[in-house]
């Protein structure tokens, strides 16, 4: 049952209620009773006394996991008319579906976007399990038929007009109606926990039918099935969403509407909604959702994205990781990026110990990219050890990493690292491969708009907004040249032989644009005296018309016509704002047709759009966490947090 603080979050401050211990009668002044679905006697007592009964139940996107922080309930149903799994009388959900033509178009559009995320990320009610392995032997040949089990005594079985015999009938029908095709009996993932049992294991064994009990996400399993047979399980709705035909032997909430092959009838259900309309009713209008980051009410699309972020983190961190070289004071900041539902971590400061552990126990080695030299990489390769390189993401923090400001974003690259063009990186592969869906590209366009509107950058430093860096330009071409840290890995790895530091860059820009008005901005770490790379006034005076000290990069990007850089991330930030970018090194955003590049990168052969570059760099490649809760979140969450902290002066 939902405890008092959480129930107040879902039902709102206007709801007045008291919790009763089992067996205690409700007070005489009570105007209604609430209980968990049809469990217990609260609904019977409400009926006897003529009171309203509010049935509480999990929503259809319940949580990111089963236990711990991931198991926190994110969606709740509060139904005053019935409950969705009981077909004996109309529930509020049934009424919403029956009147589907009144659902507004924006809800249908939201439902389409929601289904796209469910399909792409294999989402369901619970989301802790990994996906079906590509080499799963049960799916090597012809797609099988899957018969779904349910836990014995589940109220949705009787509520859907089913009995234990229904499961035997489903098995017989699946075999008879699909001659020559393999039939799998999918046992319920909760079977065996706390003494719970299902129906199909013994029935399938007696008929020599293959039992499938691997702990995998249902959506990833359903998409590989030829057909799914259900009694009244919600999993049938998830199968419909991923595009698999569903046969219903009972009458679940999604049955009887013309979208499923129904072996029973509900005369009340005369409407014929589209799948998007049914999803809009079930996922958007029926439940109440709570954002785990803000603790405020939210929409289902947001909940799906939060769950998807957790699933991606769990998938990427699954298994054993040996983390090397992360100092103790930094480990709490790094841990949320590396620890998921199915991960195990070891820590050491010794590269040799990490290699020994990997050889003994398997797993991957995780290390800061800047600490991995060619010798260590070669040794790891010789031993066959998987190597993951850590680096800051592109929306990192409010404040400098060199001042120990914890990151809100990291990248964990199992191919290379984005700033080293000597070899491919995961980011480069994402861009070279392409194939992003329209929803991802649309979200990237939204992100870019937000970056510009909120005036965000990697570190978000520079104090109060300023103007006038190019005040003396007087009609000349305005060029911004951002300085970089002299020993930064992106400079060492990404520069050419001729232009390789801040001074040679300034000289090259002046030679290429002799009539331009050039403003040079030192790197914040260099300006703060924390890292090398400073230029003297005598060096900059003949080459730059202005020196931007203590300026935020976004203020300068507002005023310049072009940005010329070695490998600075500010080149990507300039592209997002429509500023022309010239590169003299090989940064991750060069070579895709969006920049004018002095150096070639032959591997990068595919022209990409700005939305694709934004999606790859800000959506697909990095990991984000909320610094307060440690939960995986979206880029938009981090943007809002960084903007708020920036307004508060850090």
Which of the listed residues 78, 96, 114 is the one where a domain comes to its end? 96
Which of the listed residues 46, 69, 96 is the one where a domain comes to its end? 96
Burial environment of residue 168 by CB neighbours within 10 A (0 to 12, 13 to 18, 19 or more): middle
**136 and 215 in a common domain:** yes
Residue 38 predicted with pLDDT over 90:
no
Residue 69 predicted with pLDDT over 70:
no
Considering the domain boundaries, does residue 282 fall inside one? no
Domain count, the chain: 4
Q: Find tokens 């900059």 and name the residue.
A: 540
Q: Find tokens 């489903």 and name the residue.
A: 170
**257 and 141 in a common domain:** yes
Burial 383-415 (b: 16+ CB within 10 A, else e): eebbbbbbbbbbbbbbbbbeeebebbbbbbbeb
Considering the domain boundaries, does residue 279 fall inside one? no
Burial environment of residue 246 by CB neighbours within 10 A (0 to 12, 13 to 18, 19 or more): buried
Residue 597 predicted with pLDDT over 70:
yes
**253 and 221 in a common domain:** yes
Q: Where does the pLDDT of residue 52 fall: very low under 50, low under 70, confident under 90, or very high at 90 and above?
A: confident
Residue 591 CA, distance from chain mean position: 28
DSSP state at residue 40: S
Report the pLDDT value the prediction gives residue 401, as an integer from 0 to 100: 47
Q: What is the CATH number of the domain that holds 493?
A: 3.40.50
Dist. CA 396–CA 106, nearest whole Å: 33
Q: Are 601 and 591 in contact (CB under 8 A)?
A: yes
- Averaged pLDDT for residues 318-346: 95
Report the pLDDT value the prediction gives residue 11, as an integer from 0 to 100: 81
Q: Which two tokens stand for residue 270?
A: 């005369």
**137 and 87 in a common domain:** no
**110 and 50 in a common domain:** no
CA triplet 39, 42, 44: central angle to 5 degrees? 95
**257 and 351 in a common domain:** no
Residue 403 predicted with pLDDT over 70:
no
Q: How many residues does the chain have?
A: 650
Residue 4 predicted with pLDDT over 60:
no
pLDDT digits (tens, 9 = 90+) for 268-297: 999 999 999 999 999 999 999 998 888 889
pLDDT digits (tens, 9 = 90+) for 509-563: 999 999 999 999 999 889 888 899 999 999 999 999 999 998 888 899 999 999 9
- Residue 21 φ/ψ region, left for φ over 0, alpha for ψ in the -120 to 50 degree band, beta for the rest: beta
Task: Classify the C-alpha dihedral 482-483-487-491 as positive or negative.
Answer: positive
pLDDT digits (tens, 9 = 90+) for 112-144: 999 999 999 999 998 989 999 988 988 988 999
Among 218-227, 304-313, 350-359, the minimum mean pLDDT is found in 304-313
Closest CA to 168 of 249, 86, 87: 249
β strands within 325-467, DSSP E: 343-348, 364-368, 386-392, 409-413
Dist. CA 645–CA 220, nearest whole Å: 39
**144 and 91 in a common domain:** no
Closest CA to 432 of 442, 443, 440, 424: 424
Report the pLDDT value the prediction gives residue 528, as an integer from 0 to 100: 84
Residue 647 CA, distance from chain mean position: 26
Percent above pLDDT 70 for the chain: 93
Report the pLDDT value the prediction gives residue 43, as an integer from 0 to 100: 78
The helix (H) or strand (E) run that includes residue 622 is strand 622-624
**78 and 110 in a common domain:** no
Report the pLDDT value the prediction gives residue 560, as an integer from 0 to 100: 96
The helix (H) or strand (E) run that includes residue 489 is helix 489-494
**178 and 265 in a common domain:** yes
What pairs with residue 387 in β-bridges?
365
56 is in which domain, residue-wise?
4-96
Considering the domain boundaries, does residue 447 fall inside one? no
pLDDT digits (tens, 9 = 90+) for 9-23: 888 776 666 666 666
Q: Are 114 and 283 in contact (CB under 8 A)?
A: yes
Q: Where does the pLDDT of residue 49 fall: very low under 50, low under 70, confident under 90, or very high at 90 and above?
A: confident
Whole-model pTM?
Answer: 0.85
**402 and 366 in a common domain:** yes
Q: Are 397 and 405 in contact (CB under 8 A)?
A: yes
Dist. CA 335–CA 399, nearest whole Å: 20
Considering the domain boundaries, does residue 298 fall inside one? no
Residue 92 predicted with pLDDT over 90:
yes
Closest CA to 572 of 538, 533, 622: 622
Report the pLDDT value the prediction gives residue 22, as an integer from 0 to 100: 63
User: Alpha helix locations (H) across 495-599?
Assistant: 502-512, 524-527, 537-540, 553-557, 570-576
Considering the domain boundaries, does residue 480 fall inside one? yes
Considering the domain boundaries, does residue 443 fall inside one? no
Considering the domain boundaries, does residue 51 fall inside one? yes
Report the pLDDT value the prediction gives residue 213, as an integer from 0 to 100: 92
Dist. CA 497–CA 25, nearest whole Å: 84
- Across the chain, what does the average pLDDT equal? 90
Which of the listed residues 381, 400, 433 is the one where a domain comes to its end? 433
- Residue 281 φ/ψ region, left for φ over 0, alpha for ψ in the -120 to 50 degree band, beta for the rest: alpha
**65 and 46 in a common domain:** yes
Task: Classify the C-alpha dihedral 555-559-565-571 as positive or negative.
Answer: positive
Considering the domain boundaries, does residue 388 fall inside one? yes
Residue 50 predicted with pLDDT over 90:
no
Report the pLDDT value the prediction gives residue 429, as an integer from 0 to 100: 97
CA-based end-to-end distance of the chain: 40
Q: Are 456 and 554 in contact (CB under 8 A)?
A: yes
Residue 402 predicted with pLDDT over 90:
no
pLDDT greater at residue 644 or residue 35: 35
**116 and 36 in a common domain:** no
């Amino acid at each position: 049952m939902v405890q008092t603080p959480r129930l107040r979050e879902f039902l709102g401050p206007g709801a007045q209620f008291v919790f009763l211990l089992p067996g205690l009668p409700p007070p005489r002044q009570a105007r209604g009773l609430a209980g968990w679905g049809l469990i217990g006697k609260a609904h019977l007592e409400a009926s006897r006394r003529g009171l309203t009964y509010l049935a509480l139940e999990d929503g259809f996107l319940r949580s990111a996991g089963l236990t711990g922080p991931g198991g926190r309930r994110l969606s709740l149903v509060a139904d005053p008319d019935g409950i969705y799994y009981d077909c004996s009388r109309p529930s509020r959900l049934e009424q919403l579906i029956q009147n589907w033509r009144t659902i507004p178009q924006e809800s249908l559009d939201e439902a389409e976007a929601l289904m796209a995320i469910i399909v792409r990320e294999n989402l369901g009610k619970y989301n802790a399990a990994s996906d079906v392995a590509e080499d799963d032997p049960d799916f090597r040949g012809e797609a099988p038929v899957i018969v779904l089990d349910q836990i014995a005594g589940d109220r949705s079985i009787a509520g859907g007009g089913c009995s234990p015999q229904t499961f035997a009938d489903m098995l017989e029908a699946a075999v008879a109606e699909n001659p020559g095709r393999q039939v799998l009996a999918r046992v319920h993932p909760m079977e065996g926990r706390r003494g719970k049992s299902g129906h199909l294991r013994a029935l399938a064994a007696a008929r020599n039918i293959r039992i499938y009990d691997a702990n995998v996400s249902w959506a990833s399993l359903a998409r590989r099935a030829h057909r799914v047979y259900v009694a009244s399980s919600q999993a049938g709705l998830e199968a419909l969403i991923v595009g698999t035909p569903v046969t219903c032997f009972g009458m679940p909430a999604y049955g009887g509407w013309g979208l499923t092959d129904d072996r029973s009838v509900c005369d009340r259900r005369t409407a014929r909604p589209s799948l998007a309309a049914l999803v809009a009713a079930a996922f958007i209008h029926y439940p109440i959702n709570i954002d785990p980051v803000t603790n405020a009410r939210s929409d289902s699309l947001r909940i799906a994205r939060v769950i998807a972020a957790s699933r991606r983190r769990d998938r990427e961190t699954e298994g054993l990781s040996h983390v090397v070289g992360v100092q103790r004071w930094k480990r709490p900041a790094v841990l949320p990026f590396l620890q998921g539902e199915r991960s195990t971590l070891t820590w050491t400061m010794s590269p040799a110990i990490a290699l020994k552990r990997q050889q003994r126990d398997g797993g991957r080695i995780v290390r800061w990219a800047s600490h991995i030299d060619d010798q260590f990489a070669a040794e790891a390769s010789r031993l066959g050890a998987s190597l993951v390189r850590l680096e800051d993401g592109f929306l990192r923090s409010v404040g400098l990493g060199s001042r120990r400001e914890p990151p809100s974003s990291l990248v964990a690259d199992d191919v290379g690292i984005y700033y080293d063009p000597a070899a491919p990186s995961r980011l480069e592969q994402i861009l070279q491969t392409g194939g992003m869906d329209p929803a991802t590209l649309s979200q990237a366009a939204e992100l870019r708009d937000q970056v510009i509107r909120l005036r965000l950058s990697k570190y978000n430093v520079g104090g109060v907004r300023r103007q006038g860096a190019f005040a003396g330009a007087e009609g000349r071409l305005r060029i911004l040249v951002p300085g970089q840290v002299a020993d930064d890995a992106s400079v060492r790895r990404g520069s050419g032989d001729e232009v390789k530091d801040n001074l040679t860059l300034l000289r090259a820009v002046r030679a290429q644009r002799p009539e331009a008005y050039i403003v040079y901005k030192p790197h914040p770490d260099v300006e703060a005296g924390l890292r090398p790379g400073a230029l003297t006034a005598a060096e900059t005076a003949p080459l730059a018309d202005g020196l931007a000290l203590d300026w935020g990069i976004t203020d300068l990007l507002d005023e310049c016509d072009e940005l010329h850089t070695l490998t600075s991330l500010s080149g990507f930030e300039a592209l997002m704002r429509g500023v022309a970018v010239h590169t003299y090194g090989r940064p991750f955003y060069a070579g895709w047709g969006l920049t004018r590049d002095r150096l070639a990168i032959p591997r990068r052969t595919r022209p990409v759009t700005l939305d694709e570059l934004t999606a790859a760099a800000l959506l697909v490649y990095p990991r984000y966490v909320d610094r307060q809760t440690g939960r995986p979140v979206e880029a938009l969450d981090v943007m809002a947090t960084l903007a708020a902290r920036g307004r508060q002066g850090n």
